[in-house]
Every structure is written in C-alpha cells, then in structure tokens.
Structure 1
Amino acid sequence: MSDSTVTTPLLSIRDLDVRYPGRTFRSPEAHVIKNVSLDLHAGETVGLVGESGSGKTTLGRAILGLAPVSGGTIHMGSRDISRLGRKERRSIASSIQVVFQNPYSSLNPSMTIEDILAEPLLASGQKAGREMVRSLLEQVHLPADAGARTAREFSGGQRQRIAIARALALSPSVLICDEPTSALDLSTQAKVLDLLVEIQAEKGIAYLFITHDLAVVRAVSHRIAVMLNGEIVEVGDAEQVSDRPAHPYTQKLQMSAPVADPVEQKVRRERRREFARSERATSL
C-alpha cells in the first residue's frame, strides 16, 4: 500500500462533533463524538476500536448519514457529505456501504438471496440480472444456486458472506464494517476476516473496521484508532498500537484481549499487575 501521508484520502474526517439533545428539557445534552479527525485511504483498513459506549459505532453512523453532525466535516474526496439531505445521500450510496454486526437481523429471512442482492442495484436504478447475482455470490465463495434459497436457510457465517456480497453490489470504494464478526464463532470469524482481506486485495476497497476486540482488529488493519468517551486517544500503525500501545486505555484493551499462548498469558498477567499498581499509585 502506498504511503498514507502522501496520498489523498478517500474519506477525510475533521473536527467531527455529534451531539444528541436530552429527551426532556431537564436532560443533559449527550456529546457522543468530540472533535474527531481521521483519514481513510484507498486499499487501507483502519481499525476503530473501543469498548461499548466509546462512540465508535456512532462515528460510523455519522459517516453513513445516520447520526446528526453538529460540528466539523466529513469529506468523500472533495465533497463534504456531513450534512447531505436524503436525496443527496442517495447519490453517494454507491461509494459508501456498510456490513452490520448481526447477520440474522440484517437480512430479511423470507427473501431469496437473489432478491436481497438485487435490492441495492434496483434501488439505484441499475439492472440486476442473475449473472450479476452469481458474480456477487462467487466473490464471497458461495455457490451460484444459493440465489434461489432464502436467508433463513443459511448459517450465521454464510449470512454474513451474503451481507458482504450485498454491500459489494454497488462497487463501493469505502466499506464500513460494524463489528462484522462479533456474532460468529472463532473459526467462522477467521474465515470472514480472510474473505474481507481477499476482497480488499482484489478491489482496493477501503475499510473502516469497527470492533471492541484489539486482537481481531490487529489481524486485518493497516492502522488502528482507539476511541474513549467519544475521542480518539491513540492512532498509528496496527503493529505499534497493538504491541506497544502508548495510551493507558489502549494498554488496558491490550491486556484484556484473549491469548492462547501460555507464555504470553503469563506476560499479560504481570502487565496487568503492573498496570493495577500504577493506577493505585496515581490515585494516592
């Protein structure tokens, strides 16, 4: 991949704020995203990692136009997409697509796979023939006859492959992957991650990969951005952030990530003890 410092980003987020008003006049305003800046380049995966409530999914929703932007900008190339109306948003639908977390709720179980894959094409005014459907199924390593079956006939991993195929239907340049493997078992997770890496190598799509799992994001990302309380507290090369985190919150995430190696487990336990000792010392 080319050096991200010299190429023009596909997606450029600058000083982004997302605020939700209180539900009543007495409720405080919720400041969910705070002054976030982040770039995403062609063929690059940026892992966005943080615990539940950190704001990472809201950031993805803001990019997709599903969360209100109260400050800052989101540029797709030279175009500011942060405050587009519904009709204008349709005009960039082919550029940015999403794969959601739950493959069981993101697909209509009674629809045939052919209809599911044809839906985004028809909505954008394009033709959606069986050849196109077969091509999409082939890209995610599912048989051509899968198109005639309904979503309820497939396993979770297969449904997520179908969701990826649907996202690819409009040939996007950016794909928002919102916890796409968290509902899957470990072996299926690995296969879906391998598929995403393969598709990126073939098509040069940029991924914003949202997850709470630092180990998962390390496996697929070029760079990692860590979110805490709506702010990005650390961003850098995936190996550096995963193995040598600078921010205490990233260190905490690293120490909580599961590992199979007994030696590494011992090292992690000692690191956790040191971290706990330093936190106690700081609080005194």
Structure 2
Amino acid sequence: MTTPLLDVTDLRVAYPGRGLRARPHEVLHGVSLHVREGETLGLVGESGSGKTTIGRAVLGLAKPSGGRVLFQDQDITHVPPKARRSLARDIQVVFQDPYTSLNPSLTIGDILSEPLVVRGASGSDARNRVRELLDHVGLPANASARLPREFSGGQRQRVAIARALAPKPRLIVCDEPVSALDLSTQTRVLDLFIDIQRRTGVSYLFVSHDLSVIRHISHRVTVLYRGDVVETGPADRITSSPEHAYTQALLLAAPVADPVRQRERRSERRRLASLEPSETKAN
C-alpha cells in the first residue's frame, strides 16, 4: 500500500476554557484519517463536530495537543512559522466566504499574481500563470483587471479556487467552500473542483455539513460527531446506506418534495437523535 499524502493519527486539539481557572476544552478526541494522492476525503458533521478544526490543524491554524500530522511522510504537527510558510506551496485552502477571503482593494490579477511573485516568479511568468488560472476556473481573461466586488458569489469562489491553485499545490483544504452559494451555483462550483482534480491530480480534504455535497465530490467519507470519528468508508456506501445512527440522521436531514415522506423522515430523525452516540445501528 502506498504512503498517504496526508496521514493524521490520534489528533487531539484543545481550546482554552473561559475564565481564569477554567480547564481546556478538548474538541478533537484522537481523530485518525488519511488522504491519498488525487483523492477527495469528505469530512462531514454538524456544527461543533470538529471537522473544521481538523482542517485548521492541518493548515497550522490550530495547535494540536496530541497526535501527529504527516504530509508526504514528514511530520508537520509542530513545524515553526518559517517552515510552515514553505509548506504553503504544497498545502492551500479555500474558505467558506469568498468575499472576505479576497482583498477588496486588489484587482483579481494582483490577488492571483501576488503569491507567485513572492515565490520568485517574474512579472511576465506571473501574468501568464494568471491567464492560465482564469481559464482553468472558467473566468474571462479581462477578469484580471476587475475588483472582487464586481463578481457574483460563485465567481468570487472561482477566484478563490484559482488563488489556491496558483502555486500548484498537492493538497487543498476546502472549508465549507459552497455553503454560502445557491444550489445551482453549488453544483457548478463542485463540478469545477472535480474537473480541476481530474486535470491536475490535486487532493482535497473537503469539509461540509451537507451530506449531499459530500456525496457529489468525495471518494471516501469520514463522519464526525462531537470530536470523534463515528463512521468512515467509501462515499457511495456512507451516503446511501450508513451504519451509524448519527450518519443516518444526517442523511434524513436532507429535505424531500413529498410532504408525507418529509414528515416521516423528520420523525425518524428525531428518534435517531435520541439514541446514545455509541450506538452504531438505528434499530
């Protein structure tokens, strides 16, 4: 078996408690997962499950209190800031809100070329790469002269994806990247992620609370509940016939057009929510 691109083992993260004598609050209780080359691992769970914290730990934005994070077989759990900056070439991120993650005073061309110039690219090389990136994400070449506020939410997210692709990374952490978009735009952006992966071989650690989004894009799925992994496996199985009651409840949360079925699903979801977290079957 080949070595995973990203290998997270027994990861623990604790945040300081509120108050002078408050004990730290542990939000991850020993999570293990891995992402292979060219693969999308979907992390799904409700708010507070710890899925975003995993992404932040991989990016160095949350300090682990235990466990380890390996990238390309190198331990990056506690790398110093200078080494972390050098990792940015290989590990990038796409955030939830494309507007606040883009500098509103810079043109799209400057936003995309800035990380390239910082890494030593010449002006002409950076401009050529910007044209290439805009083409990759389906934006016209004249977009480089415009400001982020001139674009729709879906277009801004395409710019954010292009910025993440600029240094040709091996892994992109996608933190709820389509949750702020309408349904039709969500589908187009998800299809763009899939197309980019096919063309470049980049891997995704894809964080979402929506099991239908995870089903659309993921090869494998890891389900998180209150800081613990409760189920993991191939996306087709997890999103169609999950074994754990919590995953089944997530699946039932998706609305359906039939009012009778919707009422039945809501009743079943309430029943599943009453089960103990340790129970792996709904019946």
What is the CA deviation profile of residues 190-230 of structure 1, one whole-angstrom value per residue up to 9, with x for unaligned ones? 10000000000111111011000001110000111111111
The aligned amino acid for 1:273 is S
What is the CA deviation profile of residues 76-118 of structure 1, one whole-angstrom value per residue up to 9, with x for unaligned ones? 0121001011001012111100000001111112210010001
Partner of 1:270: 264
Name which of 127, 150, 154 aligns with 2:151.
154
Partner of 2:107: 112
| Contact residue 246 and residue 273 of structure 2 kept, 8 A | no
Query: 2: CA distance between counterparts of 1:139 and 1:27?
Result: 49
| Contact residue 51 and residue 224 of structure 2 kept, 8 A | yes
Work out the percentage of aligned pairs sharing the same amino acid: 56
| Contact residue 46 and residue 223 of structure 1 kept, 8 A | yes
Partner SS, residue 69 of structure 1: coil
Query: 2: CA distance between counterparts of 1:153 and 1:175?
Result: 26
Change (3 A) 1:68 1:277: closer
Query: 1: CA distance between counterparts of 2:38 and 2:69?
Result: 19
Q: CA deviation at 1:275?
A: 5.2
Query: 2: CA distance between counterparts of 1:208 and 1:281?
Result: 29
Q: CA deviation at 1:258?
A: 2.6
Name which of 157, 162, 165 aligns with 1:165.
162
In the alignment, structure 1 residue 103 sits paired with structure 2 residue 98: yes
Partner SS, residue 239 of structure 2: helix
Moved more, 57-66 or 105-114: 105-114
> How many residues were matched structurally?
274
What is the CA deviation profile of residues 11-52 of structure 1, one whole-angstrom value per residue up to 9, with x for unaligned ones? 000000111122433223110111000000111111100111
Change (3 A) 1:266 1:156: same
Query: 2: CA distance between counterparts of 1:212 and 1:31?
Result: 20
The aligned amino acid for 2:147 is T
Alignment of 1:120-159 (within 5 A): 120-128=115-123, 129-159=126-156
Alignment of 1:240-279 (within 5 A): 240-260=237-257, 262=258, 267=261, 269-274=263-268, 276-277=270-271
Query: 1: CA distance between counterparts of 2:7 and 2:74?
Result: 10
TM-score scaled to structure 2, two decimals? Answer: 0.92
Name which of 169, 172, 176 aligns with 2:173.
176
Partner SS, residue 233 of structure 2: strand
- Alignment gaps of 5+ in structure 2: 277-283
Query: 2: CA distance between counterparts of 1:214 and 1:274?
Result: 17
Q: CA deviation at 1:277?
A: 4.8
| Contact residue 105 and residue 147 of structure 2 kept, 8 A | yes
Partner of 2:234: 237
What is the CA deviation profile of residues 120-139 of structure 1, one whole-angstrom value per residue up to 9, with x for unaligned ones? 21233333521111001000
Q: CA deviation at 1:279?
A: 6.5
Moved more, 265-274 or 56-65: 265-274
In the alignment, structure 1 residue 208 sits paired with structure 2 residue 202: no
Q: CA deviation at 1:281?
A: 8.7
Q: CA deviation at 1:280?
A: 6.2
Q: CA deviation at 1:231?
A: 1.1
In the alignment, structure 1 residue 62 sits paired with structure 2 residue 75: no
Partner of 2:3: 8
Change (3 A) 1:251 1:117: same
| Contact residue 249 and residue 272 of structure 2 kept, 8 A | no
Q: CA deviation at 1:271?
A: 4.8
Partner SS, residue 212 of structure 2: helix
Query: 2: CA distance between counterparts of 1:280 and 1:209?
Result: 28
| Contact residue 178 and residue 189 of structure 2 kept, 8 A | yes
In the alignment, structure 1 residue 87 sits paired with structure 2 residue 82: yes
- Alignment gaps of 5+ in structure 1: 1-5
Moved more, 201-210 or 16-25: 16-25
Query: 2: CA distance between counterparts of 1:18 and 1:123?
Result: 32
The aligned amino acid for 2:87 is I
TM-score scaled to structure 1, two decimals? Answer: 0.91
The aligned amino acid for 1:48 is L
